[in-house]
């Protein structure tokens, strides 16, 4: 939805009306990272918002909504109760260190509870990077004006002649990698880095890419922050065989429980679109001892399937008016309608909001 349309709808009171109409439906927000400094980041940082913007959003949440914990929301649904009107749950995916150093002080100041879903294999691992980030950096930071890559057994030339073209190329490469089994994906990623060059994180980027330590996770948990699983290595679950799927779910749960001495009952599906999990994956979560699974399709929740609790992704593309609109479910509905009109049932998997 264009900014001009969002501005007009806000002036006409659409947010106020929608907020009232949707008051019984819980909002679950997803962040990835919060950084000190300006909000004008490039494509690589689209899921990382400025601390000032995050603080503004949390002030809005506290003024118009009722922040609750994920456990409270899940307990209400398990017991057949409605959560409090205008309930909102704040979550973070991946487990970046800035969740602790930047986001945590802001959330504590506003008394907003939150959940962090950690990718356990990347914690306490110097230089660790998500495979999605490796792919995006390698393509986007390639200084050449074009590059030819072998993906899915076929060669394709990608335009890299401008920042916008590099972003489009990076998105296209990433979406192909996401549909590959891990072994094929890793071979393709190695080839991408061979052709484009690996792009190690520079010192000035550490606040963006560094992951939490287990000591920081324990400190968060001691302060009341809920810690959930985001798997061990951040694979797309639908690309895994049965054994690997079980290992990713069970081992990440075990790691969190061993570190904290308490049960880990929630998991956020990596990427989280409808193409990234299904009946098989939801059954595997249940069998592994999880009480809920969280997706990322931009809808609000009204007594949902607990293994498909939906969330709204918040990245730098949402200024405050758009954020307000997103919390009513209007933006997610508009995106899904657009995708249906385009005849692309899986278009949600290629939106910038779901690239983390």
Q: What is the pLDDT of residues 225-268, one digit of tens each?
A: 999 999 999 999 999 999 999 999 999 999 999 999 999 999 99
Per-residue confidence (pLDDT) for residue 354, from 0 to 100: 53
The whole-angstrom separation of Cα 106 and Cα 112 is 9
Per-residue confidence (pLDDT) for residue 343, from 0 to 100: 62
**Residue of 32, 34, 26 whose CA lies nearest to 329:** 26
Residue 353, burial from CB neighbour count under 10 angstroms (0-12, 13-18, 19+): buried
Per-residue confidence (pLDDT) for residue 353, from 0 to 100: 40
The whole-angstrom separation of Cα 115 and Cα 291 is 15
pLDDT digits (tens, 9 = 90+) for 102-125: 999 999 999 999 999 999 999 999
More confident: 230 or 41: 230
The whole-angstrom separation of Cα 339 and Cα 349 is 11
Distances (CA, A) of 214 to 111, 242, 248, 303, 307: 23, 28, 18, 33, 26
pLDDT, averaged across the chain: 91
pLDDT digits (tens, 9 = 90+) for 156-170: 999 999 999 999 999
The whole-angstrom separation of Cα 235 and Cα 109 is 34
- pLDDT of residue 287 exceeding 60, the answer is yes
- pLDDT of residue 346 exceeding 50, the answer is no
pLDDT digits (tens, 9 = 90+) for 65-78: 999 999 999 999 99
The whole-angstrom separation of Cα 341 and Cα 347 is 11
Residue 255: how many CB atoms within 10 A of its CB?
19
> Tokens 């918040």 map to which residue?
314
Per-residue confidence (pLDDT) for residue 234, from 0 to 100: 98
The whole-angstrom separation of Cα 165 and Cα 172 is 10
Per-residue confidence (pLDDT) for residue 351, from 0 to 100: 39
- pLDDT of residue 35 exceeding 50, the answer is yes
**Residue of 186, 172, 93, 181 whose CA lies nearest to 136:** 172
The whole-angstrom separation of Cα 111 and Cα 65 is 13
Helix axes 320-327, 330-341, angle to 10 degrees: 80
- Report the SS3 class of residue 270: coil
The whole-angstrom separation of Cα 325 and Cα 193 is 39
Q: What percent of the chain has pLDDT over 70?
A: 91
Q: Which two tokens stand for residue 327?
A: 């919390």
Which 8-state DSSP code applies to residue 161?
S
Q: Which two tokens stand for residue 179?
A: 């549909």
Which 8-state DSSP code applies to residue 226?
E
């Amino acid at each position: 939805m264009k900014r001009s349309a969002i501005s007009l709808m806000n002036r006409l009171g659409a947010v106020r009306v929608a907020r009232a109409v949707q008051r019984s439906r819980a909002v679950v927000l997803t962040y990835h990272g919060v950084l000190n400094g300006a909000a004008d980041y490039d494509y690589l940082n689209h899921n990382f918002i400025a601390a000032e913007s995050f603080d503004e959003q949390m002030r809005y949440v506290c003024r118009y909504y009722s922040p609750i914990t994920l456990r409270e929301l899940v307990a209400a649904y398990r017991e057949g109760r409605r959560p409090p009107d205008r309930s909102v749950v704040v979550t973070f995916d991946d487990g970046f260190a800035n969740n602790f150093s930047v986001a945590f002080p802001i959330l504590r100041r506003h008394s907003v509870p939150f959940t962090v879903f950690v990718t356990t294999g990347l914690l306490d691992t110097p230089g660790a990077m998500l495979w999605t980030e490796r792919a995006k950096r390698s393509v986007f930071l390639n200084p050449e004006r074009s590059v030819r890559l072998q993906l899915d057994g076929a060669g394709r030339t990608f335009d890299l002649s401008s920042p916008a073209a590099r972003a489009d190329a990076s998105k296209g490469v990433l979406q192909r990698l996401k549909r590959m089994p891990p072994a094929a994906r890793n071979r393709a990623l190695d080839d991408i880095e061979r052709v484009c060059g690996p792009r190690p994180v520079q010192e000035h980027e550490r606040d963006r890419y560094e992951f939490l330590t287990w000591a920081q996770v324990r400190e968060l948990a001691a302060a009341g922050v809920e810690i959930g699983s985001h798997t061990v290595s951040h694979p797309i679950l639908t690309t895994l065989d049965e054994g690997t799927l079980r290992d990713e779910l069970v081992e990440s749960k075990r790691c969190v429980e061993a570190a904290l001495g308490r049960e880990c009952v929630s998991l956020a599906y990596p990427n989280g679109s409808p193409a990234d999990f299904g009946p098989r994956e939801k059954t595997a979560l249940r069998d592994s001892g999880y009480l809920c699974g969280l997706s990322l399709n931009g809808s609000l929740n009204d007594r949902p399937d607990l293994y498909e609790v939906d969330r709204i992704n918040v990245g730098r593309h949402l200024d405050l008016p758009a954020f307000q609109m997103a919390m009513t479910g209007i933006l997610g509905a508009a995106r899904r309608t657009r995708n249906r009109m385009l005849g692309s049932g899986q278009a949600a998997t290629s939106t910038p909001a779901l690239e983390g």
